[in-house]
Every structure is written in C-alpha cells, then in structure tokens.
C-alpha cells in the first residue's frame, strides 16, 4: 500500500517516518515545489519521496491530510476520488463548529473514504507509538479496516469510536483530545 502524506510541517514528517519504519512506500508533499521540502525530508523522514501534492496523491492508496485546517480549501478534491483518506486535521484554535473536520472533508472529497485519526495526539507524543491507543472514526467499514491495519503496523493500538460524526469525540475540546492511552477503549 502506497502512502502519501500531505503536510511537511510538525506532524506530517512524523507520520511519514512511522510509515517508512513499517515498510510502506511514502511520498510527502507541502503546498508547493517538492524541491522546497527535500532537505527537511532528508532530515526528518529519510526515505520518503518529496513530490507535488497532486503527484503524491495520484499514486497513493492511502492519503494522510496533515495540513492546517484553513488550508484544506486549497486541495483539489478531484485528486482524492477512490482513495482512503486519513484526516489528521483539527479546527485550531478550537472552535464550536456544527460539523467535525472529517465530516466536512468527506462532504468535499466526493468519492473518497474518509477516516478520522491521529489528530488527537501531539506530534511529539507519536513516537515511540508502541502500546499507545489511537481512536479512529469513519463511515466506511472497509476504509476503517485499511486504516486500523495501517495504525497497527505503524505501532499504535487502534480503537474504533464510531462514525465520522462520532469522530467529534476525538476533536479539541473533548476529554479524549491529547490522550493516547487505553483509557480510550
């Protein structure tokens, strides 16, 4: 399974690094020319291939959205049809929105199967992941299976919390936000 990580800031390279360590081929993208992230990729996620977002997504089976929420409007929804998409984004600063980010992602990325996870753990707490539980939420059982397998392989213990709407349990303001222990289950 090929993985594309959109976002080469704080959290993207950590997820890329974990995926590489688990043996996945990984492409990583920022918002612009991949040459701009070559150096940071070589330091933070050696082995990941810097690509444009469009090229990274086109070749991927699983795409991780690790970009600021306010930048989500800049991604081209047409790229994501048929992909399993992990939404690791948050409303930040926390805001009382009528929908969770992942519900909004699923509405905009028509044809993608969206799973919310990895948003509720700070990037500096993602390594080492061994034994740490992470919640995942989604409406597609098949996509949940794919992402649960991905999370297990990169070292987390996946805990299913329900539908995409239930994924709001994982968002800022919820007691779960910032936790990564078996208390989730």
Ligand X SMILES: NC(=O)c1ccc[n+]([C@@H]2O[C@H](COP(=O)([O-])OP(=O)(O)OC[C@H]3O[C@@H](n4cnc5c(N)ncnc54)[C@H](OP(=O)(O)O)[C@@H]3O)[C@@H](O)[C@H]2O)c1
* 3-state SS track over 26-72: EEEECCCCHHHHHHHHHHHCECEEECCHHHHHHHCCEEEECCCHHHH
Cβ-contact 81, 134 below 8 angstroms: no
Looking at the Cβ atoms of 30 and 158, the one nearer to ligand X is 30
Asked if 10 is part of the footprint of ligand X (rule: CB under 6 A), the reply reads: yes
Crossing angle for the helix pair 11-21 and 141-154, to the nearest 10 degrees: 80
Exactly one of 66, 133, 143, 159 binds ligand X (CB under 6 A); that residue is 66
Strands 84-87 and 113-117: parallel
DSSP for 130-160? Answer: TT-EEEEEES-HHHHHHHHHHHHHHT-EEEE
Window 29-58: contact mask with ligand X (x via CB under 6 A) = xxxx--------------------x-----
Cβ-contact 5, 64 below 8 angstroms: yes
Choices 19-27, 69-77, 108-116, 132-140; region in contact with ligand X by CB under 6 A: 69-77
Looking at the Cβ atoms of 141 and 168, the one nearer to ligand X is 168
Question: Using the 8-state DSSP alphabet, how is residue 103 labeled?
Answer: H
Asked if 177 is part of the footprint of ligand X (rule: CB under 6 A), the reply reads: no
Residue 87 in tokens: 């939404």
Asked if 167 is part of the footprint of ligand X (rule: CB under 6 A), the reply reads: no
Asked if 8 is part of the footprint of ligand X (rule: CB under 6 A), the reply reads: yes
Positions in 85-124 near ligand X (CB under 6 A): 88-90, 92, 119, 121-123
Minimum CB separation from ligand X for residue 95, in Å?
A: 12
- Residue numbers of the site for ligand X (CB under 6 A)? 6-12, 29-32, 53, 66-69, 71, 74-75, 88-90, 92, 119, 121-123
């Amino acid at each position: 399974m090929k993985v594309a990580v959109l976002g080469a800031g704080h959290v993207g390279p950590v997820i890329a690094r974990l995926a590489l360590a688990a043996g996945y081929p990984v492409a990583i993208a920022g918002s612009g020319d991949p040459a701009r992230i070559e150096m940071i990729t070589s330091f933070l996620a050696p082995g990941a291939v810097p690509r444009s977002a469009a090229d990274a997504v086109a070749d991927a089976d699983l795409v991780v959205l690790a970009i600021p929420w306010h930048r989500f409007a800049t991604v081209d929804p047409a790229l994501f049809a048929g992909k399993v998409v992990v939404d690791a984004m948050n409303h930040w600063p926390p805001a009382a929105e009528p929908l969770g980010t992942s519900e909004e992602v699923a509405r905009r990325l028509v044809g993608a199967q969206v799973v919310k996870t990895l948003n509720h753990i700070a990037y500096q707490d993602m390594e080492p992941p061994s034994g740490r539980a992470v919640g995942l939420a989604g409406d597609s059982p098949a996509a949940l299976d794919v992402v649960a397998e991905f999370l297990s392989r990169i070292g987390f213990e996946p805990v299913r919390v329900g539908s995409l709407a239930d994924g709001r349990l994982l968002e800022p303001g919820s007691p779960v936000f910032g936790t990564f222990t078996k208390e989730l289950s």
